Structure 1
Amino acid sequence: MSFLEKSVVIKKPVEEVFEAATDFSKSPEMMDAVVDVEILSEGPVKEGYKFKETREIRGRKASSVIEVTDFEQNKHYSVRSVQNGLDLRYHYNFVETTEGTRVEFKGELFTEGLRNKLAQPLIKRIIKKEDENHLEDMKKHIETSVS
């Protein structure tokens, strides 16, 4: 049930790209809508790692707890946020290429309840508007930051 798919090539080695992408404390620097991140887990990022992300959407702040549901260093990771009958899952794959690292992204949305099912097209449009360009923003951030 993928509703958003993107890919981008970042002109940096896969280890550097993966490390930057999974440093969730830096999300406010990479994504315009994210205004704050609170790390809820100790230690390195792995399956089960959690953080609280606060976004400003249409002038209102909304927070959600995000959990890493799949993780393989320098290869791929997935995150999931569940709240108010909305189950949002983002999947990232990292592939080393001759130009750098290709990051492939897929977003999925699952809904519970009649109201959410009926509102799903609108919810998808709002999420697309918020996250459609986040890979390009990540690319810009990683390519311009000093290693």
Structure 2
Amino acid sequence: MPTIEESVVIDAPQEEIYDYLLDPTHLPEFSGSIINAELEGPGPAQVGSRFRGTTKVLGRAIDWVAEVTEHERPRRQSIRSVESKVDFTGTYTLEPEGSGTRVTYRLETSQGLGGVFGSLADALVNKTYARQVRADLATLAEIFTEHRESSTG
């Protein structure tokens, strides 16, 4: 099972980051590959809730529906695809680190992200998407840094 795992330390409390990540409408704000995402049904999200969205991988839009499988505030949340061309599980783990929070994102796919392009594309797509995940986490950190600066300045 191909896996991508990246992390970043953010100068913000676990609870604040966790609640932000649990709202799927925030995903396009920091993820360069997610075109849109929303919660199906009433909120807030909990185990069994479903998210619907569209992700762009190498210029190709992939629609998906995922179900929340773990919801352990403020430490861990996971979603698993239930409708998608690519079977995936995405997990955010949040741990205290210094005065901030280490946010780790782990993406596991059953056939590799290149599956929609052909198996030969797996290595290229996985490498490209790992870079995207690093950039997404850096953007997430910037969002919280800007929020902190605007609320103290």
TM-score, scaled relative to structure 1: 0.81
Gaps of 5+ in 2: none
Q: 1:11 to 1:2 in 2, by over 3 A?
A: farther
| Cα drift, residue 109 of structure 1 | 1.1
Which residue of the partner structure matches residue 28 of structure 2? 28
| Cα drift, residue 129 of structure 1 | 4.6
Which residue of the partner structure matches residue 119 of structure 2? 118
Structure 2 residue 19 is the aligned partner of structure 1 residue 5: no
Residue type at the aligned position of 1:133: A
Residue type at the aligned position of 2:61: K
TM-score, scaled relative to structure 2: 0.78
The share of aligned pairs that are identical, in percent, is: 27
Counting only pairs closer than 5 Å after superposition, residues 1-147 of structure 1 correspond to structure 2 as 1=1, 3-82=3-82, 83-84=84-85, 86-111=86-111, 118-119=119-120, 120-145=122-147
Aligned residue pairs total 144
Counterpart Cα distance in 1 of 2:2 and 2:93: 15
Gaps of 5+ in 1: none
Provide Cα deviations, 1:92-143, integer angstroms capped at 9, x if missing partner: 111122221111222211139xx77834435534533543422112111222
Residue type at the aligned position of 2:141: K
- What stretches of structure 1 move > 4 A for 4+ residues in a row? none
Contact 1:20 1:142 in 2 (8 A): no
